[in-house]
């Protein structure tokens, strides 16, 4: 497939590496231009492009930008073919992104992002730590394979995205339509907790729309205060502890 990725940070660059290694044709763009991506694309088949060119012939466009900047992608995805599938990896952290009243009032983050972009988005790869994405992918069928949730309003598009997630090393659980995607926002038991399919299904059903934002902020405070070592294992364990265990 032709895949365009907007955002070349922790998540976008790693998705580019994994999806190109899986045989897809990947274009990668950031805000500073292709020259700034030389180190990332060197020795790979990834093409570094200007962001205006990233979506032109894409089957799938992945947005991996800071949450509040999703609107800046509207003019970029306007160049995408009408049938292109658009994916959002972003998460809302008010202390980083600034307070967004619609989201604070309960609008699911990717519903808000879809409105900013002007196209319906599939939510995927948001509920996985970047270290987990780098280190923990395994082949389909491997015992204990970590699963991540996806949500969106187009079933066929979700199937395509599930295949791509699998190519990056992870199982998926379909968490429903975009309006249901609050179930795996930051602070929920499904968010960055490294669960298998059955554990993730329980975590999604155990999510609380009311508790998640406070959990999210408490987790960020604990990290800021140095109470959580910045290792993958410690962060995932702390997320499990502070977001409530799956199924309880």
Ligand X SMILES: NC(=O)c1ccc[n+]([C@@H]2O[C@H](COP(=O)([O-])OP(=O)(O)OC[C@H]3O[C@@H](n4cnc5c(N)ncnc54)[C@H](OP(=O)(O)O)[C@@H]3O)[C@@H](O)[C@H]2O)c1
Contacts with ligand X, residue ranges (CB under 6 A): 6-12, 29-32, 51, 64-67, 69, 72, 89-91, 126, 128-130
By C-beta, is 65 or 173 nearer to ligand X? 65
Q: Three-state SS for 178?
A: helix
Q: How far is the CB of 142 from ligand X (least distance, A)?
A: 22
Rounded to a whole number of angstroms, the minimum distance from the CB of residue 21 to ligand X is 18
DSSP annotation of 229 reads -
- Report residue 155: phi and psi, to 5°: -60, -45
Q: Report the helix count and the strand count for the chain, using DSSP H and E.
A: 11, 8
* Min dist. Cβ of residue 102 to ligand X (A): 16
CB of 6 or CB of 178, closer to ligand X? 6
Measured CA to CA, the distance from residue 180 to residue 200 in angstroms comes to 15
Nearer to ligand X by Cβ, of 89 and 116: the residue is 89
Instruction: State in angstroms the smallest separation of the CB of 35 from ligand X.
Output: 11
Closest approach of ligand X to the CB of residue 139, in Å: 22
Rank residues 8 and 41 by Cβ distance to ligand X and give the closer one: 8
> Do residues 225 and 177 touch, judged by C-beta distance below 8 A?
no
Position closest to ligand X via CB:
9
| Closest to ligand X by CB, 221 or 247 | 221
**CB atoms near residue 71 (< 10 Å):** 14
Convert 10-49 to b/e letters by CB count within 10 Å (16 or more is b): ebbbbbbbbbbebebbbbbbbeeebeebeebbeeeebbbb
CA distances from 222 to 42, 98, 99, 116, 239 (A): 37, 19, 20, 31, 11
d(C-alpha 29, C-alpha 49), whole Å: 5
Count CA within 13 A, CB hemisphere, residue 3: 27
List the structure tokens of 237.
């364990």
Nearer to ligand X, 89 or 193 (CB): 89
Closer of 143 and 164 to ligand X (Cβ): 164
Quote the least distance from Cβ 17 to ligand X, whole Å.
13
For the CB of residue 87, give the shortest distance to ligand X in the complex, in Å.
11
């Amino acid at each position: 497939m032709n895949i365009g990725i907007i955002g070349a940070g922790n998540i976008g660059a790693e998705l580019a590496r994994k999806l190109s290694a899986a045989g897809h044709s990947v274009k990668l763009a950031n805000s500073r231009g292709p020259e700034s991506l030389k180190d990332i694309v060197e020795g790979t088949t990834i093409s570094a492009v200007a962001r205006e060119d990233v979506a032109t012939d894409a089957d799938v466009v992945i947005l991996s930008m800071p949450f509040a900047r999703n609107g800046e992608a509207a003019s970029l995805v306007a160049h995408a073919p009408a049938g292109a599938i658009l994916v959002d990896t972003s998460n809302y952290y008010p202390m980083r992104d600034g307070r967004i009243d619609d989201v604070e009032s309960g609008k699911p983050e990717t519903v808000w992002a879809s409105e900013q972009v002007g196209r319906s988005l599939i939510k995927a790869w948001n509920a996985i730590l970047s270290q987990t994405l780098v280190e923990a992918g395994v082949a389909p069928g491997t015992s204990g394979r970590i699963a991540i949730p996806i949500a969106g309003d187009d079933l066929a598009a979700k199937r395509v995205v599930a295949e791509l997630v699998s190519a990056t090393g992870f199982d998926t659980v379909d968490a429903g339509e975009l309006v249901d995607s609050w179930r795996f926002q930051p602070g929920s038991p499904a968010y960055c907790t490294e669960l298998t399919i059955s554990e993730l299904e329980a975590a999604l059903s155990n999510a609380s729309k009311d508790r998640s934002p406070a959990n999210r902020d408490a987790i960020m405070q604990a990290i800021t205060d140095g109470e959580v070592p910045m290792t993958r294992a410690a962060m995932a364990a702390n997320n499990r502890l502070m977001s409530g265990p799956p199924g309880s």
